[in-house]
């Protein structure tokens, strides 16, 4: 869905103004705090005035302030929760905005939330009963291992997102993670890691060199499987 189409299902109110420009090219990395609340089932979002959004309260589902680090999102990378990217991509640095979001835009929220919790939670839960890796469809059918997320799948609810934009990194200003790279960039990164490992080894730093070699081998294995 286009940005304009998505924004038809969003209302927002900025509670703290930000600074700078809010026009970011694809590839920009945004770092932000995110608090999400599932609103009461009888909430009629179509009749909520924008000025009343701060007075809406619901069940807190996620709050990145309780995680080991804030949320990162790279624009233009087909983020699974399109509505969240649409919200943050127009914010200024330091801005705090509350978004009222129609449940029609939140079908992927439980899966995205589960992924963020595994990656960012200080104490990610272990769900041995899940039996290892499963496809997304199987995960939804059998449950996500979180009662609140399973509840949102069974009975979707409108939600309020409170976002504080902490940091903006333009393309080329940050080191890409392996999954963000093109195949050519991935091959170059393997050579670079080997060079760095050689330099560390020659400087009598074998432990650090070993880590570089280990990462290079892991990336090479990944490339061979593609």
CA-to-CA dists, residue 36 to 10, 177, 218, 226, angstroms: 14, 26, 36, 36
**Same-domain status, 116 and 213:** no
pLDDT in tens, 24-53: 999 899 999 999 999 999 999 999 999 999
pLDDT at 133 over 60: no
Cα dihedral 160, 103, 9, 114, rounded to 10, equals: 60
**Same-domain status, 50 and 157:** yes
Instruction: Give the pLDDT of residue 130.
Output: 42
**Same-domain status, 183 and 145:** no
Instruction: Give the pLDDT of residue 5.
Output: 82
Number of H helices, E strands in the chain: 7, 6
**Same-domain status, 7 and 109:** yes
**Same-domain status, 163 and 133:** yes
**Same-domain status, 121 and 194:** no
CATH number at residue 102: 3.10.50.40
Sign of CA dihedral 111, 113, 22, 185: negative
pLDDT at 127 over 90: no
pLDDT in tens, 65-99: 999 999 999 898 888 999 999 999 999 999 999 99
**Same-domain status, 99 and 205:** no
Sign of CA dihedral 37, 13, 45, 79: negative
Q: How many domains does the chain have?
A: 2
**Same-domain status, 150 and 188:** no
- Cβ atoms of residues 16 and 92 within 8 Å: no
Q: Name the domain boundary from 123, 141, 169.
A: 169
Q: Name the domain boundary from 152, 169, 186.
A: 169
198 is in which domain, residue-wise? 178-224
pTM: 0.74
CA-to-CA dists, residue 80 to 92, 111, 115, 116, 119, angstroms: 22, 9, 11, 12, 15
**Same-domain status, 40 and 142:** yes
């Amino acid at each position: 869905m286009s940005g304009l189409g998505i924004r038809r299902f969003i209302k927002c109110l900025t509670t703290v103004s930000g600074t700078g420009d809010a026009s970011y090219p694809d590839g920009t990395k945004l770092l932000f705090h995110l608090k999400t609340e599932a609103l009461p089932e009888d909430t009629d979002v179509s009749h909520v005035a924008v000025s009343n959004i701060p007075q809406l309260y619901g069940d807190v589902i996620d709050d990145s302030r309780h995680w080991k680090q804030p949320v990162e999102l790279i624009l233009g990378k087909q983020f699974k929760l399109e509505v969240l990217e649409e919200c943050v991509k127009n914010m200024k640095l330091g801005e705090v905005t509350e978004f009222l979001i129609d449940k029609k835009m939140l079908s992927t929220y439980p899966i995205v939330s589960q992924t963020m919790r595994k990656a960012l939670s200080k104490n990610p839960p272990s769900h041995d009963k899940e039996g290892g890796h499963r496809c997304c469809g199987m995960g939804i059918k059998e449950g996500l291992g979180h009662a609140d997320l399973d509840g949102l799948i069974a009975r979707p609810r409108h939600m309020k997102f409170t976002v504080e934009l902490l940091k903006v990194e333009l393309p080329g200003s940050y080191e890409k993670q392996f999954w963000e790279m093109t195949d050519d960039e991935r091959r170059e990164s393997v050579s670079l890691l080997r060079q760095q490992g050689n330099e560390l080894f020659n400087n009598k730093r074998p432990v650090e060199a070993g880590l570089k070699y280990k990462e290079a081998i892991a990336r090479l294995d990944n490339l061979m499987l593609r």
